[in-house]
Structure 1
Amino acid sequence: MRSLLILFLLSLLPQIAPASQPVLCTARIQGKDVALGYDKDEEGLNRNFSRREIFFTKWGRDTCPSYVVLRSLTPELTDEQRQPFCLRHDKDSDSIIGHDLGTRDAYGRCEKPAGAICQRVNRTTDAAVAISGAAARGAIKGVQALPDGSGAAIISGSSGYVTTALTSIGGAASAVAASPMLLAGATVSVVAVGGTIYACR
C-alpha cells in the first residue's frame, strides 16, 4: 500500500524534461580551431543561418554555423543587435579574422570584401545612448540610425571627422572620441548598439 502511495505521489509531480545537450562544433578563428557549442533546440534557430550553411557545416573542418561564431565574437549583443555585422573571412588562412559592418552572404560572411575589422571600444551605455539620441534627432551630420531593426546608430568618416562629431555630442561620447582605436585609423565607423560601442577600421 505504501509503495502504491509513493507511486501515486510521484505521478503528481510535474514531468521534468531532460535538458538538451549542447551541440559541439569547431570554428577556425584567427588561424586556430576553436571549440564552440550551441543549443540545436533553441527558438528561432532557422532564422539565424541558411539551409546551404546547414548542409556545408556538416562537412570539412568548420562545423559551426556562422551565427554561433558571430555570437562568440559579440557575446554582449542579442541576435537582433548583431544584424549590422558580418564575419570577415581571410582566404589565406581560411579562417574568420573578426567581424565587420556589412551584408552577410549565405555563410554569414561579408558579401563584399571588407577592409575593416570591428572592435569593442567600451561598454558605456551612456555613450551609446548619446550617439543613438544624436542619430534620432539628426543633431550631427553623418550620424544615422540603421533601418534594420537592430537599433544601431553609426557614424563614418575620417578619424578626425568622427572624433570631432563625437566630441560635439559631449558627455560619455567625448570619452569614446579619445579611444586609440579611433585615433589610429584613417577612416573609421563607430557603431552604437545595445549599450556597446564598436569602432571599425
Structure 2
Amino acid sequence: MRRLTLSLFALTAALTATLTAAPALAEPVFCTARINDRDVVMAYDPAEARQDDSFTRRQALAARVGRHDCPSYVVLRSLTPELTDEERQPFCLRHDKASDSVIGYDLGARDSLGQCRAASRSVCRRVNQTTAAANALTGAAARRSVQGLQALPDGSGAVILNGTGSAISGALASLGGAAAAVAASPVLLTGAAVSVVAVGGTLYACREED
C-alpha cells in the first residue's frame, strides 16, 4: 500500500508540474472591420498578429487609433475561409475610400495595410470549389496545353488564365469534365476581361464590377 501511495503522489506531482509549465492560451482580441458598408466584429490571436509579417507597424498603429481595427490578414481570411495563408498570397483587399469599406478582394500586390497596391475595379469571386476543376487547370498549366495559362511565382501554388470571358469559357470547355462544367458560369459569359485563378482546390473569377 505504501508503494502505491508513493506512485500516486509522484504521478500527481508530475501532472501538476506539466500543467504549470504549459503556456496559457492567449485571450482573443475582438476587432471591427468595415465590409461592404457594414461593421463586422471578428476575433484573432494577438500573438499570431505579432508574428505575421503582413501585420506591419503602420497597420498596428492604424488598428490602435482607428474605428476599424482588424488586421488585414484577419479580414482576408474571413473572405476566403477555404484557403490557407500561403494560398491567399495572390489576393489583396480592395478598399473603397469613399465609404472607408472593404468591398472584396482582388489579384495583386498588397500595400502596408493589406490593400491592393494598384488601383483596380476588379473583384474576385469564388465560382467553383470542386477540386477536380482546379486540378484540371493546374495540370493544364504544367503541360502547357492551354495557351496563356501559367503558374504564379509567389509560392501559393496558384495558376492563372487571363482573357475574355468567352475565351476562358472555351479553354475550360476544352479540358472537359469538372472544368467544362465551370465554363457555363454566368461570371464567364461576358465579353469583358476576366482572370481565372485555381488555388487550393478552388476556382476564382476576377473581373470588373458591372
What band does the TM-score fall into relative to the shorter chain?
Answer: over 0.9
Unpaired runs of at least 5, structure 2: 1-5
Distance, in Å, in 2 between the alignment partners of 1:154 and 1:195 is 13
Q: Pick the aligned partner of 2:201 from 186, 195, 198.
A: 195
Q: Following TM superposition, by how much is the alpha carbon of 1:169 offset from its aligned partner in structure 2, in angstroms? A: 1.6
Size of the alignment, in residue pairs? Answer: 200
**8 Å Cα contact 2:164-2:190 kept in structure 1:** no
RMSD of aligned alpha carbons: 2.1
Counterparts of 1:50-89 in structure 2, within 5 Å, are 50-89=56-95
Distance, in Å, in 2 between the alignment partners of 1:9 and 1:47 is 42
Q: Following TM superposition, by how much is the alpha carbon of 1:171 offset from its aligned partner in structure 2, in angstroms? A: 1.4
In the alignment, what sits opposite 2:183? 177
Greater Cα offset, 7-16 or 125-134:
7-16
Amino acid at match of 1:166: L
In the alignment, what sits opposite 2:3? none
Distance, in Å, in 1 between the alignment partners of 2:51 and 2:131 is 28
**8 Å Cα contact 2:29-2:43 kept in structure 1:** yes
Distance, in Å, in 1 between the alignment partners of 2:59 and 2:23 is 30
In the alignment, what sits opposite 2:52? 46
Unpaired runs of at least 5, structure 1: none
TM-score, scaled to structure 1: 0.92
SS at match of 1:117: strand
In the alignment, what sits opposite 1:129? 135
In the alignment, what sits opposite 1:12? 14
SS at match of 1:57: helix
In the alignment, what sits opposite 1:147? 153
Is the radius of gyration larger for structure 1 or structure 2?
A: 2
Q: Following TM superposition, by how much is the alpha carbon of 1:5 offset from its aligned partner in structure 2, in angstroms? A: 8.9
Correspondence 1:28 to 2:34:
yes
SS at match of 1:97: strand
Q: Following TM superposition, by how much is the alpha carbon of 1:90 offset from its aligned partner in structure 2, in angstroms? A: 0.7
Distance, in Å, in 1 between the alignment partners of 2:89 and 2:191 is 24
